[in-house]
Amino acid sequence: MDLTAEEIAGKLRDLGEPSIAEHSKRFFKTGKGEYGEGDRFLGIRVPVIRQMVKRYRRVPMNEIKVLLRSEFHEERLFALLALVAGFGEGNETAKKEIYNLYLGNTCHVNNWDLVDSSAPQIVGAYLEKRDRKPLYEMVRSQSMWERRISIIATFHMIRKDQFHDTLKIAQILKRDREDLIHKAVGWMLREVGKRDIDAEEAYLKRHYQDMPRTMLRYAIERFPESKKRAYLTGKI
């Protein structure tokens, strides 16, 4: 039997632990002026939510939409993981519906864990054989989370040894003001390097001197210490 959003929310709220919720509020920077300002937590660890998705994955799309718009972080995460599962199992019609639902609700995909656990599997996967224009629209968005979606979505392409969009979007985001974007770009550059170190280094040698420090540090994290020092001291 299909469950409603209210029933799923009730089950999730029964699992909440106040001590975990308090830790999550600090970890996800929910204080005034921080990137997660005002977010609310039930206090449920991610593996527990993933198990809930496996148990109750047949949730109707209209009910997932309700959960995606919840004030509680874990309910939004449940909704996103359910969309990821549905996308992976769905036909082309279902994939398109999930992709459109996702892009229509990016304001609720509003923390780095929510982006990172869904953007490659939905946005990246849907656009793999399609026009990548939506990535370039989001990369110039006023929303930090849409900009993060644009670069993290390319993780799907990186796994297919397609690096062009990652490198192009990295260049656009090089001047971004947000540290969370610097970390995301550096991470994706590092993932490119895991598959093609020459491609990563070709990019870095052109741009490392005017990249944000955090972005560079993330990008060179796996390099030998001597090469790290050379990049960090401008001696490449």
Task: For residue range 33-42, list pLDDT tens digits in order.
Answer: 999 999 999 9
Tens-place pLDDT, residues 81-96:
999 999 999 999 999 9
Structure tokens at 60: 């109707």
Mean pLDDT of the chain, nearest integer: 96
Residue 79, pLDDT above cutoff 80: yes
Residue 57, pLDDT above cutoff 90: no
Enumerate the β-bridge partners of residue 40.
72
Closest CA to 77 of 38, 48, 55, 103: 48
Residue 43, pLDDT above cutoff 70: yes
Residue 2, pLDDT above cutoff 80: no
| Mean pLDDT (whole number) for 104-112 | 98
pLDDT of 236 reads 86
Distance separating alpha carbons of residues 39 and 48, to the nearest angstrom: 20
Residue in the structure block whose two tokens are 């549905």: 86
Q: Are 208 and 216 in contact (CB under 8 A)?
A: yes
Residue in the structure block whose two tokens are 């972005």: 215
Quick one: 195 exposed, middle or buried, by C-beta within 10 A (0-12, 13-18, 19+)? Answer: middle
Residue 1, pLDDT above cutoff 70: no
Tens-place pLDDT, residues 216-228:
999 999 999 999 9
Residue 58, pLDDT above cutoff 90: no
Residue 172, pLDDT above cutoff 70: yes
Distance separating alpha carbons of residues 152 and 68, to the nearest angstrom: 19
Which residues, 6 or more positions from 135, have their beta carbon under 8 angstroms from its beta carbon?
A: 123, 127, 150, 153, 154, 165, 169
Binned at pLDDT 50, 70 and 90, residue 3 comes out as: confident
Closest CA to 236 of 212, 214, 208, 210: 208
